[in-house]
A and B are shown apart, each in its own frame.
Chain A
Amino acid sequence: MILKDILYHRPESIAEAIGLSQECLNNGQRFHYLGGGTDLIPNLKRGQCDDSLHLISLGRIPDLKKIVEEDGKLKIGALRNLAELINHPLIEKIIPGLALAAGKIASPQIRSRATLGGNLLVDTRCVYFNQTETIVAADGACYKNGGTVCHLIPNASGKPNKPCRARFVSDSAAILVLADAQLEIASASGIRKIGLREFYGQDGISRNNLSPSEIVVGITVPLRDYRVMTYEKMRLRATFDFASVGIGFFSDGQTLHFSVNGVESYPLYRAFALPKTGENAVEGIYSSWLQGICEELAKNCSPLKQDLLSPAYRKQMIAVLAKRAAYKYIKPRSLNTLEC
């Protein structure tokens, strides 16, 4: 699909950007904020886009590009691109797990354009949604494409609330929910903050609680010890691919935090307090306990046929990858005793 009739804006401040979007809203015109465009532009290209459209680029707004350590927090501007995050000393120092996850997103070329904000807001994906017009016409448009059916869960068709199970795929979100990061969001009425864990809803269409003219300014990560943190990303091809299953893992010494990406319509987050056995809270964790929580994590997820790999397999892999992530840091002391 050829994109045409695009009105391109390059505001230089947050206020100016919000002003532009408010104007579009008032005039009933379509608009999108533009980060790196690596998600938005392909989606627009295959969409119905006959009427004119405003693209409001955020790339020229200095306030969106900070990376600073301040007030006991790490603050990362939404417009920082992923390649920059991977190599940034502050991120390396404070939360290397974010650099690791960012480095597994898409491909080097895309990472040089793709922004962190865009990644946190990346649209959910589905074999029936991310399709061309010919294929949408062949299948019949699904809820997320403006239709009245769900091809993935046929008995979900014809429902007034249009339930959608398109997959959440942001690899950086899978790490940032573990760190309980907060989003800073600007709107005409000022700045609000919201925890990433609360930000995402459960539905593949509504996705999150950002309203149309709001701008994600950045995220703040509380300063803690994030060394025991990792991200396991499974995909058929080792690069240039979304997660079939992604598992984030973080241990603060008291609690094991897990996230699951690429399966549900949101980054599923679960925390499991380490069982207290004897003097040392860490010692004496039985591998069967770990096995148990990994299986429970998998039980919380219901993969659907949205990938070349079978749903049953992906479900099985949730537990396998979670265990693998945890075992990177937790070493068995004896046959069934573990130690962080």
Chain B
Amino acid sequence: MEYNTIGKPQPIISSVDKVTGRAHYTDDLRVHNPLHVKILRSPHASAKIISIATEKAMALSGVKLILTGADFKNTFGVLPISKDESALAKTVVRYIGEPVAAVAAESAAIAEKALKYIDVTYECLTPVIDMRKALDKTENSIHPELKKTTNLHKAVEQNFGDLDTGFKEAEQIVDEFFTFDAVTHAFTEPHATQVVLDGEGNITVYSATQVPYYLHKALAEVLEIPMHRLRVIKPHLGGGFGGKSDPFPHEMIAVKCALSTGRNIRLVFSREEVFYSHHGRHPSRINMKLGYHPKKGITALKGDMLIDGGAYASFGVVTSYYNGVLLQGPYELKNFGFHCDRVYTNKPVCGAMRGHGGVNPRFATEVALDIALTKAKIDPGYGRLDMILKPHSLTPGQFRITSSGLKQGLEKALQSSEWKRKYGKLPYGKGIGVACGFFISGSALPIHWTQMPQSTVRLTIDFDGGVTLYSGASDIGQGSDTMLAQMAAEVLGLPMKMIKVISADTRLTPIDYGSYSSRVTFMAGNAARNAAISIRKQLVEAACEILEIPPPIYASPAIPDSSFDLGGREPDFGNPYLGPNPKYHSDGFTFKDQLITTKQGNKSLNYLDVVRKAMDFQGALQAKGVYLSPKLGGDFKGAGAGLSPSYSFTTFVSEVSVDTETGFIKVDKVTCAHDCGFPLNPLSVQGQLEGSIHMGLGQALMEKMNYSRDGVLQNANFLDYKIPSAFEQPEINIVALESSENEGPFGAKEVGEGALAPLSPSVANALYDAVGIRLTSLPMTPDKVLKAMQQLKEG
């Protein structure tokens, strides 16, 4: 199929503004005469707040307001089942850096100074820092309101098939223990919120958020203001990676300050505060037991996870499930189970981070599998080929695998990296390793239960023919605005420049849940495409009128592929009219280069003439498109976790050089095959893959939140928290795949997250090939490498 704009590299909209400094991020906005807000943070990991004396601070000239926990009645949390956080700590503090009081003052310097004049008396308690200790019995649990005798937040478990039999069938059983330090998103733009009031009681909140609608809802609930008085706008955003996908205390504080003072508010974080705000990847301890048989593949897989949630719940329940359910791909499995305990500790909160919940268990599985294959003397590259999930199949937990380009991807990646020539044959110190993965392409379940479509997009065309597309999706730097514009440009045959995207403004744009779980391209993309198709129908009608031919009869919307094995269940694809891929190409016209031409090519009309005709008697053209995912999944406990209308698949082959005297690992080259269905914009696919590799490399080699025994984060800055530099970035070899997803917009699936997880295990497996050691803990710093090499030498 010949496309107009999709499948061709499109520079990200506003990239020029971003690199020239014209793009305004939240911090860049100059709101009129704001009060500046600074937050006093707890210096104790665990303590009772005995008293807070604010009088001295209030007496400073320029100080207008001081808030404490008493000013906030309602708690919140991104998941409705675990709203355990208050904007400011009430009776206890639970981590170093937790907000305790907030000052609004005429200048940032005054606000900062005032913080020093607030006297908080604490009574220190013994903090729980080590996640293992969190399972001990205690009378002083971190969240007494849960009335539990330990600091366990959530235990989840699922079992499918028969693990015992599975392990009995195995020829190799690998039972390994893995540990993972905490890592954080390290996005460029610190959190910032600004609030503008008008005289009518309307409150406009500009915030660096991935989830304007969840924020909208949370602000309304916590501060008890009607939603219609609130408007949340996400300006340009300098990276999220999951770290801006919760409603945050500072956002509540900023709006509360505005309401209490009647003034505009400006609140901007320092980098240190970003580290406390965290919500990054859960540090974890994972036991992975894997049974393998050369003929049967993975005969059983059992994961036991302990994950450290820090002080509050955030996405924790979802994370706990993802730790387990994301193990049921990309390999065929019958006997599979997991147990995951999420505990509270006195450290900054963990939440969602790129590859949410799936990254650490993926490392454990891919390394365990590699051990099994090498023990069985089976090539770990080609050996994996026999085990991968087939397209059109169901996993044990009833994930519907629609399309999968994994087989092709793995084969191509092995070929392109010259695996056969290299694996096991490189000189000592050099190695090659492989790992695979898969990821959801949009969580099918919204966080707040509703039957609404997951995404709605509105399109209007006015008399100049320009298209305005309204979407609630948040462009967080990943390029979703560009993707949306491509949808309209493609369907309507217009240049990208004629599409203007207005996004993430709760007053103007229809609901979309936000940018998380790699859902935007699939869901908002489908909605945008459907909206554009709806407009196209109006244009086709007008064209037929001009040409005096009868309107077309449309082929019925494609029912999604029903050819796969549903294990005896009835397929349910929801409302097909809202569903994917209405066949607009059966309308008898081609839309290209602002010309609307009949399929036979005999008659051609100018796009603008058709638009004008269509507007006769009705004015501006409007259309709405939605996406509602088909009904998915089983009905056992936790069945909803990880359900997605489709899944992406990834293979990484990494080549490393190890400095055998110092233990430094240099990743020389990464060959990457990622099945994102049809790549709508090869340029941003490439960008996402390069970014995933870079981020994966950080966790693999050097990133670690360095907590002291007392829970002090010792590296809350970018000098000491080490994200890799350009020097560490390997040569990247992206292998093109021919793949298409029936239900995706023009065949697309996700590319933002899935490609992160397999990076670190591919490096670990390459390390084994290079020097014969298995590292089971991240990051793989040179001291660990050298120690393991010495242990190997000593036997």
Contacts and interface: CB of A to CB of B under 8 A. Distances in A.
A134 B728 contact: no
Interface in A206-252: 234, 236-242
B661 interface: yes
Chain B interface, >50% SS class = loop
B108 interface: yes
B725 A237 contact: yes
A134 B96 contact: yes
A233 to B, nearest CB: 12
B668 interface: no
B781 A308 contact: yes
A240 B726 CA distance: 11
A308 B662 contact: no
A127 interface: yes
Nearest to A131: B714
A335 interface: no
Contact of B44 (A138, A238, A310): A138
Most chain B beta-carbon neighbours within 10 Å: one of A4, A50, A137, A313: A313
B477 interface: no
A236 B712 contact: no
Nearest to B109: A2
B662 A320 contact: yes
Interface of B: 41, 43-45, 96-97, 108-109, 112-113, 272, 661-663, 701-702, 704, 706, 708, 710, 712-717, 719-720, 722-728, 781-783, 786-787
Contacts of A236: 701-702, 722, 781-782
A132 B43 contact: no
B782 A239 contact: no
B97 to A, nearest CB: 6
A238 B108 contact: no
A68 to B, nearest CB: 35
B716 A309 contact: no
B96 A237 contact: no
Contact of B725 (A135, A138, A238, A310): A238
Contacts of A239: 725-727
B725 A234 contact: no
B724 A237 contact: yes
Contacts of B722: 236-237, 241, 308
Given A137-B43, A236-B782, 5 more contacts: A138-B44, A139-B712, A236-B702, A238-B727, A239-B726
Contacts of B786: 313, 316
29 contacts: A1-B112, A2-B112, A4-B109, A50-B113, A127-B720, A130-B720, A134-B43, A134-B96, A134-B97, A134-B272, A135-B712, A135-B716, A137-B43, A138-B43, A139-B710, A236-B781, A237-B722, A237-B728, A238-B725, A239-B726, A239-B727, A241-B719, A241-B722, A308-B702, A308-B706, A308-B720, A316-B786, A320-B661, A321-B662
Given A138-B712, A310-B783, A2 B702 contact: no
A73 interface: no
A317 B714 CA distance: 23
A73 B663 CA distance: 41
Contacts of B45: 138
Contact of A234 (B96, B662, B701, B717): B662
Nearest to A50: B113
Contacts of A320: 661-662
Most buried by A among B96, B701, B781, B783: B783
A283 B644 CA distance: 71
B181 to A, nearest CB: 10
A236 B698 CA distance: 11
Contact of A237 (B108, B702, B706): B702
A324 interface: yes
A135 B109 contact: no
Contacts of B112: 1-2
Contacts of A50: 113
A127 B727 contact: no
Nearest to A316: B786
A240 B714 contact: no
Contacts of B97: 134
A317 B662 contact: yes
Nearest to A309: B783
B109 A132 contact: no
B96 A138 contact: yes
Nearest to A151: B708
Contacts of A234: 662
A208 B712 CA distance: 31
A317 B706 CA distance: 22
Interface of A: 1-2, 4, 50, 127, 130-132, 134-135, 137-139, 234, 236-242, 308-310, 312-313, 316-317, 320-321, 324
Contacts of B725: 237-240
The 10 closest A-B pairs by CB, nearest first: A313-B783, A238-B727, A137-B43, A138-B43, A310-B783, A2-B109, A237-B722, A239-B725, A236-B702, A138-B96
B336 to A, nearest CB: 36
Nearest to B786: A313
Contacts of B726: 239
B562 to A, nearest CB: 51
Nearest to B273: A134
Given A132-B716, A135-B712, A138-B44, A309 B781 contact: yes
B782 to A, nearest CB: 7
Contact of B728 (A132, A238, A308, A324): A238
A4 B722 CA distance: 30
B113 A135 contact: no
A252 B710 CA distance: 50
B693 to A, nearest CB: 16
A318 B44 CA distance: 37
Contacts of A313: 663, 782-783, 786-787
A41 to B, nearest CB: 14
Nearest to B41: A134
A2 B108 contact: yes
B702 A135 contact: no
Contacts of A137: 43
A53 to B, nearest CB: 14
A324 B661 contact: yes
Nearest to B97: A134
A130, A138, A238, A309 interface centre (most CB from chain B within 10 Å): A138
Contacts of A4: 109
A1 B272 CA distance: 11
B348 to A, nearest CB: 12
Contacts of B720: 127, 130, 308
A320 B706 CA distance: 26
Contacts of A127: 714-715, 720
B781 A135 contact: no
A312 B96 CA distance: 29
Contacts of A2: 108-109, 112
Nearest to A137: B43
Given A134-B96, A309-B782, A240 B719 contact: yes
A310 B782 CA distance: 10
Contacts of A131: 714
Nearest to A106: B719
Contacts of A1: 112
A84 B97 CA distance: 41
A135 B713 contact: yes
Contacts of A321: 662
Contacts of A130: 720
B272 A132 contact: yes
Contacts of B108: 2
Nearest to B711: A138
Contacts of B716: 132, 135
A1 B706 CA distance: 22
A137 B588 CA distance: 72
Nearest to B45: A138
Contacts of B714: 127, 131, 135
A82 to B, nearest CB: 17
Could you say which of A1, A4, A134, A240 has the most chain B C-beta atoms within 10 Å of its C-beta? A134
A42 to B, nearest CB: 9
Nearest to B40: A134
